[in-house]
Structure 1
């Protein structure tokens, strides 16, 4: 007979795989909308994400946390910052994918865990274990090589890594549930999104409504944004953080494979060496994280 904890773990694993898998396959979705400008794509994503989140919260009779977040200045102010960070992240990512820089975008999300650690040290005053320090040093060499050999696309990777890391830091320090937080963030971005769409429509350049496929895909961008977040929230509740941390590399790995195998992006020798060093750093980091979590569990059991 399976205990409740094991059932939770079993439910968390497929949720995590689905969440990171959806994030990893986002290039395919956005490539199908390559004829839509990145700013309209992000604006439509904001509109339909908000509609879906509000609908889900209303269905669950859980609009209270969203209202509470909006009327509380101590929560609304950091959520405004996180909304701007995620807006920059979404726009950079969509532009990068549709301009043929999926590999550079994937590098940003490979770097993200290491940037998170750096922010933890600088902002939260966390201490690095020796294994983490070695992992970050190896990855830093990889980034330096990337800077020397692929300077024209390095800004994409850094912009994505920093914007998502700062987004995660703000959300970590802000006491709000994932769905309510996303609802508040998209509500904050909504005026800018609507103004841009109205301006675009008045100039005859809006893609929404141009044909059935485009319209349906733009509406679906709300679900593409919200579904992985809901799945991730489920996984975060049911899986150990060490397991969840190791699984986060599914998304950038799939993005990398999409860029190279599906869309024929070429890798320079410098990029190959750089990615190799970054992957070695990530493996060392993951092994250290897993070992640290295991030691903590053993210490707690004694």
Structure 2
């Protein structure tokens, strides 16, 4: 299967504004990219905005630029190869004892900006201590979060933490991910936040405008597995862009000064066989 993906963003600034972006396909999917455009940043009158590429502490690609006053348009698109298979469900995947975890996973047990696992520990243990460890426990956490939080774009709040999501019972995809991550960590299961593309492949089409998506990965049986408490079913064609402790580590756009978001378009869809051949 081949999947078409891309975005078009436009930011408006009043003064020169240092900015950072997580807008590349993650390095571990680079080998699957069939074709892609360069990432273009340009002013409204067509002048290119210089930007640099680097890897952050989590191995994500970051783009850095100083946006000039006025509107800057940022565009990128490509085609990526995908297996077309649903994400695996491995009910026998075991929870790794903390003493046996590799160092790379240990940091994803700790509380973070949006995932206060130290505060929600009693809540987690009261709800999930009786569920078998490993995959069944992570799935039970997803089931709870899926039913507890009501999704709506109007519920977005970039200051809401996991405890806020638990309290409010509403949010967007990042709130589902934050609460599930927090409950996993409280149960000694390493969990990390992911952001990227998720199209309506193999599921009914969502008529709402497309957005980047958030989900999480849990460390079980020596590897990371994808879980999605918002949709709560295995999906096809997830394309990760960045991973971190929570959304604070992987914002699509970070500006060190005020800006306005003038355009936000995201697309990801399966290409037909005849279109892919072209």
TM-score normalised by length of structure 1? 0.26
Higher strand share: 2
TM-score normalised by length of structure 2? 0.28
Higher helix share: 1
